[in-house]
Amino acid sequence: MAKFYETLTDELREFLLAQHLFFVASAPRSDVGRINLSPKGLDSLRVLDDRTLAYLDLTGSGNETAAHVQENGRLTFMWCAFEGAPRILRAYCLGEVVLPDTPRWQELAPHFAPLPGARQLIVGHVRSVQTSCGFGVPLFEHRGARDTLLEWAEKKGEAGVADYRRQNNAFSIDGLPTPIGEAPG
C-alpha cells in the first residue's frame, strides 16, 4: 500500500542513502518531447535537509534532466531496495540546476567530494514523498561502482570535458537549451 509523506523522515533518509543506485525522471512540457529516466550512482547524492536532495551531475552523453528542469522544474527521484526488505521510494520535487562559478555552487559544492567531470548540481526541493511495496523488484547483489565515467573525464582533462559539454550538452535531444548552452563563454 502506498503511503505519502510531506518530508524525508529520518527513516526514509536512512533507506535512500543505503541504496547504491537511484533514478531521476524528468520530462519537457510538450507532448512530443521525450521523457527522461536516468540511473545515477557513485558518491553523488546528498540529503541536505528533510525537504532538499541534491546530486553532483557528471558530464555524460546528454543533459536531459537539466533541460527539463530549466523548462518546467518537474523532477522525480526514485530508489528501489535491491537487497533486504522490499521498498520503493519516490520524491516528487521542484528541480533546480546549479552551475559551477555561481554563489549557489559555492554554497552547495562543499557537501560533495570533487569528482572528475562534474558539470552541475541538480537540486530537488521536495513537494511530496511516496513509498510503495516494491514486491516485484528483483534482488541483486551489489559488486561495486563502475569507474568508467570518472576515468573518461580524467583522460579527457578539464579542457576536453569542457569542449565535450559545449558540443554535446548545450541542448537536449529534443532541442531544448540546457543551462550549459546558455552559460557565458
Q: pLDDT by residue (tens digit) across 126-138?
A: 999 999 999 999 9
Contact between 75 and 122 under an 8 Å Cβ cutoff? The reply is yes
Please report, for the chain, the start and end positions of each structural domain, with discontinuous segments joined by +.
Answer: 3-179
Q: What CATH architecture is 3-179?
A: Roll (2.30)
pLDDT, one tens digit per residue, over 78-91 is 999 999 999 999 99
Residue with cell 543551462: 179
Amino acid in position 88 = I
Amino acid in position 41 = G
pLDDT, one tens digit per residue, over 88-108 is 999 999 999 999 999 999 999
* pLDDT for 184: 42
What is the percent of the chain with per-residue pLDDT over 70, rounded to a whole number? 98
* pLDDT for 30: 82
What pTM was estimated for this model as a whole? 0.95
Residue with cell 536516468: 38
d(CA 123, CA 79) in angstroms, rounded, equals 16
Among residues 129, 155, 153, the alpha carbon closest in space to that of 58 is found at: 153
